[in-house]
Structure formats: structure tokens, C-alpha cells
A and B are shown apart, each in its own frame.
Chain A
């Protein structure tokens, strides 16, 4: 054989030898440094929704699964999955779950722009966070500002500004709580939905009577009629009715509470009823426009 052929063969042999040696070393190392991984980890990860929304206070579903399996974290922390997921996780971990309900946000304001009185023109930065620092934008210092900080943070297209007030789309909402954190006036709160539609107080004004009527056409005046109708469920705190959702029984007849309300603060909210769906059935849905590109850095809008 010529010298060249031999050199090439030698080179091949060197690489082959190196490969064999390295694979033996790595193979032995793999056995010697083997770390047992809990099989449950994979199962729990598979059961979790995988939305990685962070509502459980972990970075993502994977981290939460790890915490559940390794550190014994409670298994019902996922508001997205609700009881169903908690039960499945419980099966894997050998635990049982008490009955729980999916947690969804409620906007405690229902007044549209025209119903909110004593408003002043505001030309500053168009975010609630900025507007909230300025006094006298509108009469009601508790209510929705309508600039949509909550809309921006929602990753699920589940909250919209309709007539200047935030309205949640409970079909799309997964309960991650991003809007709750975004609202500078803290008028969005998370409550357990025991039924598809529940009764909620949609006002945050802590003033009484005339003071409320001066700034809002629909807000709660603190008249206590609802609390008198069902004192067990409703208590009055700071001139506002507070529904105790722990005692909330979706099967009880609660319509009387709403009927007693002289304003428009006691509202049924939740997924649309069959009747509502029927009414809007024939209507054409607007075609949703997808943005051509997204920027993650700049969230301010240009309004020249």
C-alpha cells in the first residue's frame, strides 16, 4: 500500500480509537454518576396545562411539577387547571383533593365612560398606571380608568375595553391573574367560580349615598338592601357589599339579591348563558386581525 493510503487509514484508526475510548469513558461515567429521576415528575408535568402562566408563583409548569414531586408543594395551586388537574396530580402523588373551583377574576366596576361623571380630558401617557398618578381625571377615584393596562398584559385575549370599562371574556379567561396585578386601582380580584355564572359586586366605590351618585350613574351607594336580603352571604364593608364566596351556594335562589339592588352593582357574570348565545347566534363575528410582527420591548402605543 502507498504511504498516502496508510496515512489515511491511520487517521481513521486514530479517530475510531478516540471514539471508542471516549464512549467507554462516557458510558462508565453515565453509570457511575447516575442520578435517579422521579418517574412521577414526568407524569405530573404531562397532567399540568403547560400554559406556563406563572399564576402558581413558579416560573412555569415544569418548576411547579418539580416542587410538587420533590418538595411536597400543595397540589391545587394551579388556577388554570382547577380541580380537574389537582385531582389528576393527586392521583399520581397518592393524595386526595377537596372540592375546589377554578379561580377567575372579577372587575369591580361596571360604569361605562358616559356613566362615570365629572371626567376631565386627559392627554398624558395612555396607561392606567400613569393616569392613576394624576388627580381629578374622573369623579370616581375607585373605578376603572378605561385605558387598558389589563388588556395589554392579558396573554389570552380574554379582557377587553367595552365602552371604556374592562370586561372579561370568561370563555377565554384561564385565571392566570395577570390583570389583577396590572390594575393600579386594584379593582380586579380573583374569586372561585362555583358555577358558570355567579353573582358579583361590580363596584369599588367606598363612599356613601349622594357622594357616589354625584360621580357615577350606576355605582353602589351602600344602601345595604342586598345585605338585608341575604345577611348570611353578604356583609357590608366600607359601604360596599362583600360576597362571602366560601358560603356561596350556586343552587340557592340568589336572584332576590339582585332584584333588591337599586343601582346596577349586583351583577351576574361568567360564561354566556344559552339565551345570550341564542341572541347573538346569527351575528357575523369580526375577522380577527393577527399582527404582522410583535415587539416585546415597546408596549407604549403611538397616539400622535
Chain B
């Protein structure tokens, strides 16, 4: 059975078995080449695993793009206290649906990645923090974990190595902010899911105050491939600064939305026009959000020669984020779209920091007023200033995320706002 849509240009290192129910079981996964990387990792030793991951240039797939090998090397070399590995499966960024797919189709791939990472950073206990809404996913994952334990892959003596690797699933309660790594740690400890002030960084004092590494599902899912084939093989894909493949979650106004695994540096327009089958008949591209709702909107012109790598999207004026491409054609009402996104952040703000708590809710109210045709031109200046006050002034970056769509959309689609303010008319309303 073909996964909803696939395309010949894809390089399916991670997503090859998407849509293949046989890959979910331990037996099926082993038949597809699984669990060869973990024994190899034990053979290589910790330092070489970390070196290989460093050499691969793998960057964190959760959105920030921090080099994974470097992050692991921040962990203390000597294990004098418990170390923890936390797998961040609280995938909640609007437009993102890759971790869910990795977990529900290839749970053993993620488990193997966690086991290798846990070995590398000397974490005896790891947790998978699953988004509360991932009901089916969590069940699939739990079944796979059970199998892995029964087969002796996990536990006190993982695959006969004498090394303890335990993995526990923790189901969140559905808060976006618990995807922020320190908010995740607080939530896991049973506290309110509120980000912590850094420093101290998780590698110094994280979960329960112990050295901790938090990695995204997709990052960890890439680890078995790198371990097995080496950093150089991984570097065969992607660009120099953005090596490897990436799952692109394409949603919105394309004919074939879905997850596509492509080498980084893939042209955005080719993704839309070719891989995703283009826009619907007679529609023009209006805007694209290339990395999930937290990143600035790109206008159609900016998309033209945008390459989907960390540096390529930055050059176009946005961020790759977690590569969640939201495509909007000319029927899209930008004001409504932005109001809807800001509303999400206002709802999900943890409420600690004043700029985020008050600013996000205030922006939503202003945008709603504009949307209803009761706005003024001064409102746009206020929005820009409020958004400016929310950038870089808070403990975590949720505040910046709420500000990004507002600022970028007013800069790039000011006419649409003005039209709504002056005439009350919706631009592009179908």
C-alpha cells in the first residue's frame, strides 16, 4: 500500500516504510533491516558514535537546528549522577505531522535511535514525552516498546551488552509549551509546564536537576542510519550546512499534501509544483510558511528561488523550523490566517512572562477587530510595536513565535490589512 503520496524525487531514509503495517512489529522491522545499528554502536563505543553523529552534521529536527552531535558532547563525560535522554514527541507546531508518522509507522526506528543516543550520552533511563492527543501513536509505540523489552533489546542488559537502557512513555496533557525542552522537563517532573530560565542548560541541570539531553523524534530516528552507514554517507544528501534528508510536512493549498522526505536544499517551488502536484486549477500562490506557524511568512516572490535548507530559508527571510510547509493560494485571507495563528499562541502561552502572556492575547484582540472590519491604520503600528516588544524579551521563544507571523504579514501584506480596515472587504475570500 502506498503511503498517501510518494514521489520519485524523495530520498526515503526514514520514511521508506511509511504506510507499511508490517514494519510496526519487531519481527517485521528486523526483516527490514532493523536493530543492526544498536549492536554496531556498542561495538563502536560511545565516543565514536558521537563523532559519527558530529561528522554527519545532523541538526536538531525540532525547529532550532542545533547540531545534534555537539549537543550530545555537552553531557558530562564522567557519569557521576544519573543522565537522562528525553525524546520530544510533543509535536504540536501547527502544520507539523512528521513525528507522529515516524512513531506510528516505524516505532522501532525511533526506539533504536533512542537506545543508541542513550548509550552515547550514558543515560540509563530515557523518556518519550508524547503529545496528549497522540492516542493511536502512543498505543503503537507502547506495543513496540513491549516487544523490544521482551526481546531483550531494552532493559538491564540491552542486547546482551551489559548496559542498562530503559525507555518509558510519558503522555502529556496536550500543551504546546511542553514541547519546549525545559517546559517538557517541568511537565515530566509533575510541575506546571513552564519553560525554565537558562542557564543552567539541560546538559548541566535538566530533568530532576540531572544532566539531560532533549532530542526531537526525527533527530533520533536519523541516528540508526548514521550509525550504520556513517556520517559521510548521510552527508551525501543535503547541503554542506544542512546535511541529510528532512521530512517536509506540506499542508494547505496543494493537490497532494503530505510528508515528503527530501534532501535538504530542495527548491521550495519544486516541492510545491512537482512533488505536491501544484496548486489547484486556476489558483495563484500567495504565501508560504516554510517551517511551521512560528516562522515568518514568505510572500510568493520570496518563494521563487528559496531553497529548503537551514541557510536557504534564512536567506529568503524566514526559518526552516521543523520544515512544515503551509501553502496558501490566492483564496487565503491573510488577516484571518494570522489572527488564527496568533490565537493559537495566545491560547498556548504558558502565562509566565508578561510580554507573551499579555502581548499575544492583546494582538489577537486587535487582529480580530481588524478582521471584523473595525480596525484603524494605527492598529497596524500598534501591532508592529507590540510584536517588537515580544521579541527576545521572554524566557522561551513562544513569544517570538507569536510575533513572527504578525510582523512578517504586516510587512508583506500590508495592503490586505489596509483594505480590510478601509472597506471591510476580505481580500481573496472565495
* A and B: bona fide binding partners: no
